[in-house]
Amino acid sequence: MSSESETAVSNGAASNGTDEPRESLSVVDNRTGRAYELPITDGTIKSLDLRKIKVSEDDFGLMGYDPAFTNTASTRSSVTFIDGDVGILEYRGYPIEQLAERSTYLEVAYLLIHGELPTKPQLDQWTHDITIHTFVHENLKSFLQGFRYDAHPMGMLLSSVGALSTFYPEANQIRDAENINIQTIRLIAKMPTLAAFSYRHIRGMPYVYPDNDLSYAGNFLSMIYKVAELKYQPDPRLERALDILFILHADHEQNCSTSAVRAVGSSQVDPYSAIAAGVAALYGPLHGGANEAVLRMLRRIEKVENVPDFIEGVKKGEEKLMGFGHRVYKNFDPRATIIKKACDDVFEVTGVNPLLAIAKELEKTALEDEYFISRKLYPNVDFYSGLIYEALGLPVEMFPVMFAIPRTSGWIAQWRELLGDTEQKIARPRQIYTGERSLDYISLSQR
């Protein structure tokens, strides 16, 4: 920080010779009386600029303190835009509502990763490449068979994605564009296969190999549901509803699991290990595990008449209304609105899920209650999605897995963006140390 900029500010003359206000913060350190000018760019100040604010030459300088990064931008990104106040979600600038209505998951995955909608030849090639990479090494079957019969499929997915890194040791060549592209294709292609194999394992059923005649969503349904029939034919309404769910879950800017992928990826590890970190973060009930928690909550409420008592318990802080609230959306989550509509399409085929009435009563009651209104708590993506997964016959343990499959394309898009970002380096936050200092070792007999 040059002395003239300090001097300039110290006279309150934070000017640049024009009437235009400077894009900067003028701050005074009351410990020293010294004034500083911190440049503002893109609505942020660089945390590193705070380090110049010291009380003495050997002072480390100031840091920002932001547990859970509630007000910290960790990166520049052009993948996904969210305006939480007005419920806007756009992938590469395209509104989620238009993509859900007119696109397909594979086309959206291409958009997220390559930054533009594919031409017909590009989409055909992309679809072909992914379709022919849906198989996994046979050893992964025996790896999965090592899990207990009642293993949580998210734990199986987390492990098997990480295990893939051992089958493609060249994946750690992260500066090789061709290598990045083939690993991108493998990850998107193989996630449904690993997910379906995990499901068949906990069901005690033989694994179903991918059917390359089917669409991405149709093939997943086949690997889940095919039994003795020679060829599984997915119901097109279920296939489309699942494809829409995949589109809605594909990316969501710097959420917990994407931040995990970026942090792990910043060490320059292979993409399978970075994505495994994303699966691990998504597993948590406050994140992707919320859709499983919502269904368990609805089952526990059991009937509509119990909703008022349950809501009172939430307001007393006894538990959270799972599927409600969001760090960014302080209005409706546009994905929840679309999923609620998709419920109708699915229930046309499967019959209405009786828990829907409880979910709707919960939503109605909460949206009229000051506790939720004052905290800006609205249904999020997880509130209704579980009703569809249950109607599709999936067990609640599979719900977070259904989130991880499509989010893989978003995680990869963000990871690839990280690799190309010259501002990034290995993630290594600081801390405020609160422990003891310089203690002398005490021998065991003296303790």
Binding string to ligand SDX for residues 382 to 421, with x set by CB under 6 A, is what? x---------------------------------------
Q: Choose, from 287, 345, 369, 421, the residue flagged as catalytic.
A: 287
Q: Strand ranges (DSSP E) for 67-211?
A: 80-83, 88-91, 94-95
Please say which residue, 8 or 366, places its beta carbon nearer to ligand SDX.
366
On the 0-12 / 13-18 / 19+ scale of CB atoms within 10 A, 284 is middle
Please say which residue, 72 or 181, places its beta carbon nearer to ligand SDX.
72
Q: Which residues contact 188 (CB under 8 A, 6 or more apart)?
A: 109, 130, 408, 409, 412
- Residues 9 and 214: their CA atoms lie apart, in Å, by 66
Q: Is 314 in the site for ligand SDX (CB under 6 A)?
A: yes
What residues from 280 to 299 belong to the interface with ligand SDX (CB under 6 A)? Answer: 286-287, 290
Q: Which of 114, 133, 137, 327 binds ligand SDX (CB under 6 A)?
A: 327
Active site residue 326: yes
| Residue whose token pair is 């879950």 | 249
24: tokens are 């900067």
- Residues 22 and 282: their CA atoms lie apart, in Å, by 42
Report in angstroms how near the CB of residue 253 gets to ligand SDX at its nearest: 7
Q: Is 325 in the site for ligand SDX (CB under 6 A)?
A: yes
128, 203 Cβ separation under 8 angstroms: no
Q: Choose, from 201, 249, 252, 326, the residue flagged as catalytic.
A: 326
214, 75 Cβ separation under 8 angstroms: no
Active site residue 42: no
Please say which residue, 151 or 328, places its beta carbon nearer to ligand SDX.
328
CA distances, 200 to each of 221, 231, 280, 401 (Å): 12, 17, 21, 13
Report in angstroms how near the CB of residue 105 gets to ligand SDX at its nearest: 15
Q: Is 22 in the site for ligand SDX (CB under 6 A)?
A: no
Active site residue 382: yes
What residues from 329 to 388 belong to the interface with ligand SDX (CB under 6 A)? Answer: 375, 377, 380-382
What residues from 55 to 94 belong to the interface with ligand SDX (CB under 6 A)? Answer: none
Report in angstroms how near the CB of residue 216 gets to ligand SDX at its nearest: 20
Q: Is 174 in the site for ligand SDX (CB under 6 A)?
A: no
Binding string to ligand SDX for residues 210 to 249, with x set by CB under 6 A, is what? ----------------------------------------
The CA-CA-CA angle for residues 232, 234, 238, to 5°, reads 155
Residue in the shown chain whose Cβ atom is closest to ligand SDX: 325
Determine the residue type at 361: E
Report in angstroms how near the CB of residue 327 gets to ligand SDX at its nearest: 4
For residue 34, list its beta bridge partners. Answer: 29
- Residues 383 and 393: their CA atoms lie apart, in Å, by 17
Report in angstroms how near the CB of residue 283 gets to ligand SDX at its nearest: 11
Neighbours of 400 (CB within 10 A): 29
160: tokens are 């098997």
Report in angstroms how near the CB of residue 287 gets to ligand SDX at its nearest: 4
CA distances, 218 to each of 165, 227, 232, 238, 353 (Å): 27, 15, 9, 9, 22
Q: Which of 190, 262, 326, 340 binds ligand SDX (CB under 6 A)?
A: 326
**Quick one: CA torsion of 386, 127, 264, 382, rounded to 10 degrees?**
-10
Q: Which of 252, 262, 340, 416 binds ligand SDX (CB under 6 A)?
A: 252
Determine the residue type at 138: E
Kindly state the helix (H) or strand (E) to which residue 379 belongs, with its residue range: none
To 10 degrees, what angle do helices 216-225 and 105-114 make?
120
Q: Is 323 in the site for ligand SDX (CB under 6 A)?
A: yes
Determine the size of the site formed for ligand SDX (CB under 6 A). 21
Report in angstroms how near the CB of residue 224 gets to ligand SDX at its nearest: 23
Report in angstroms how near the CB of residue 2 gets to ligand SDX at its nearest: 39
Please say which residue, 210 or 278, places its beta carbon nearer to ligand SDX.
278
The CA-CA-CA angle for residues 380, 250, 378, to 5°, reads 10
Catalytic residues: 287, 326, 382
- By CB under 6 A, name the binding residues for ligand SDX: 252, 255-256, 286-287, 290, 314, 320-328, 375, 377, 380-382
